Structure 1
Amino acid sequence: MSPRNKSVFLAGAPCHKAAMKKLDRLPTREEFAHVTDWVFDLDNTLYPHHVNLFAQIDKNMTAYVAELLSLEPAEAKKLQKEYYRDHGTTLQGLMIHHGIDPNDFLERAHAIDYSVVPANPDLGDAIKALPGRKFIFTNGSVAHAEMTARALGILDHFDNIFDIVAAGYLPKPAGDTYDKFMSLHRVDTQHAAMFEDLPRNLLVPKALGMKTILLVPRNLEYEFAEAWETSSDADEQIDYVTEDLAGFLRRVVAEA
């Protein structure tokens, strides 16, 4: 789906009826009774958008691109976002076009202050109550995922973290990366659910038969987002939309 063909949610823009219905549609225990594998993206998914932890990473990536290519900050930001859009991550674009060392990039990108992430015991309880296995599937690094999940107080509730290194640096939404994750952990996609903040990263999970849940900001207010990062009426790969992950999870394990 071309981003140019998508009408998007942005702060101040009119909300689209089809997507609003998804936001208003509450899950039931019965609809998720078959799920035995729960797969969560990390950034802007396990913590809400308004925490804005990724803004620090974004700043570090811009600085890296500016230093690497001797660009002014505005030029570096523009190129960084182009690589992110076209290749799934800024890292992948830099590897393809400039042959950088991915480990150095990841270390510098994730040199951030995790103290801004508030502990979320309600989310921890909700994840712990889910039947079956729980995974973090991120385009970031294991170290970043561990630091973030530890700050949230939820790290111990996950069975494994699949990161960009395990993916061979090929990020979501690449189909081969999903295949690698599913094969490694023997995930039956007909009995799995995927939670993400980027609509395009739910295309493959939906095609594989997974339940798909999009995390959005409170009141659908995207303060900093590219058009392609947000949801639209045309996103048929999305089964549910929620702005409250803990609340959503509590409903799917609620007593009948």
Structure 2
Amino acid sequence: MTATLPRPSLPSPADFAHVREWVFDLDNTLYPHRINLFAQIDRNMTAFVANLLGMDPVEAKTLQKRYYHDHGTTLKGLMLHHNADPSAFLEAAHAIDYSGIPADPELGDLLKALPGRRFILTNGTVAHAEDTARALGILDHFDDIFDIVAADYVPKPAGETYDKFMAMHRIDTRRAAMFEDLPRNLLVPHALGMKTVLLVPEVFETGFVEAWEKAGEDDTHIGYMTHDLKGFLKALL
């Protein structure tokens, strides 16, 4: 079962003329949902939970998703409830094949053309972000990567994580924009005065994303919604 994209919206250049701080999530944001790189990470997380807690894969998957929903990441739930080693979890989760990511020189050109600074703010690791961005051919276009380790393992959407990132890089949120694939991760950026852009699949497929991950009619903190990051950047440039 599929449905067309809800509320697509493209900017005018004037909408973002003041922006000098460009903040991007990584997975399903800097590359399209259809690449589905996260499927490999998801399988690795399920296997880690199963091995750690002696569960069968079905039980492990259920617990993994509950922790993700309740705590922002599976890792945070495992740390809180089972004293899991975050380094071991992150190493296992990101032991994936990046060869399926196609290089995207056009995206690189568009990112390079953005005025000001560009950052990756991810609940993953620096290593994962670097490997992904390197495969895309866009790594050199970012000023820094702020990851889950820098956040002391407190994931987005926690306000303290955004505060740490903003303070570290002295971000003027009134001149900033945030690009994300999860609606709840845009709540704090919106409250801070940032432009907010939600990246969504071109079509919504049953089981492809969790129901709570989709934008709803009440999500007024989402300024723009698009399934085409390059098209969006072209429009604002």
User: Fold conserved (TM > 0.5)?
Assistant: yes
In 2, Cα distance between equivalents of 1:222 and 1:156: 36
Separation (CA, whole Å) in 1 of partners of 2:121 and 2:69: 19
Q: Unpaired segments of 5 or more residues in structure 1? A: 1-10
| 2:38 partner letter | F
Aligned partner (choices 171, 180, 183) of residue 199 of structure 1: 183
3-state secondary structure, aligned to 2:220: coil
* Whole-angstrom distance in 2 between the partners of 1:221 and 1:101: 34
Poorly superposed stretches of 4+, deviation over 4 Å? none
Q: 1:4 corresponds to which residue?
A: none
Residues 222 and 128 from structure 1, CA distance in 2 versus in 1: closer, same or farther, beyond 3 angstroms? farther
Structure 1 residue 101: Cα displacement: 1.0
Number of the residue aligned with 2:75: 91
What's the offset of the Cα at 1:223?
A: 4.8
1:38 counterpart SS class: strand
* Structure 2 residue 229 is matched with structure 1 residue 241: no
- State the partner residue of 1:32: 16
Answer yes or no: is 1:65 the counterpart of 2:81. no
2:168 is aligned to 184
CA drift of 1:222 comes to: 5.9
Provide the aligned C-alpha RMSD in A: 1.2
- Scaled by the length of structure 1, the TM-score of the pair is 0.90
Corresponding residue for 1:208? Answer: 192
- How far off is 1:20 after superposition? 3.0
Q: 2:6 maps to which residue?
A: 20
Q: Distance in 2 between matches of 1:32 and 1:221?
A: 31
In structure 1, what is the equivalent of residue 133 of structure 2? 149
Aligned letter for 2:117? R
Q: CA deviation at 1:252?
A: 1.1
C-alpha contact (below 8 Å) 2:186/2:196 kept by paired residues: yes
CA deviation digits over 1:134-168, x for unaligned, max 9? Answer: 00000000000000000000000000000000000
For residues 201 and 76 of structure 1, do their structure 2 counterparts lie closer, same or farther at Cα, with a shift above 3 Å needed? same
User: What fraction of aligned residue pairs are identical, expressed as a percent?
Assistant: 68
Q: Which AA in structure 1 matches 2:142?
A: F
Q: Please state if 1:126 is matched with 2:141.
A: no
Q: Which of 219, 224, 228 is the equivalent residue of 2:208? A: 224
Measure, in 1, the Cα distance between the counterparts of 2:206 and 2:103. Answer: 23
Q: Distance in 2 between matches of 1:75 and 1:231?
A: 28
Q: Distance in 1 between matches of 2:176 and 2:147?
A: 18
How big is each residue's C-alpha offset from its partner over 1:48-82, in whole Å with a ceiling of 9 and x where there is no partner? Answer: 10000000000000000000011010000000000
TM-superposed deviation, 1:221: 4.0
Q: Is residue 92 of structure 2 the alignment partner of residue 108 of structure 1?
A: yes
Report how far residue 173 of structure 1 moved. 0.3
Report the Cα distance in structure 2 between the residues aligned to 1:122 and 1:223, rounded to whole angstroms. Answer: 30
The count of residues paired between Structure 1 and Structure 2 equals 237
Q: Which amino acid aligns with 1:194?
A: M
Does 1:139 pair with 2:123? yes
CA change 1:42–1:222 in 2 (3 A) is farther
Distance 1:206 1:117 in 2: 30
Distance (Å, rounded) in 2 between the aligned partners of 1:109 and 1:65: 10
Cα distance in 2, alignment partners of residues 222 and 92 from structure 1: 26
TM-score, scaled to structure 2: 0.97
Give CA-to-partner distance per residue, 1:96-149, whole Å, 9 cap, x none.
001111011101100000001111111111101000000000000000000000
User: 1:224 Cα shift?
Assistant: 1.6
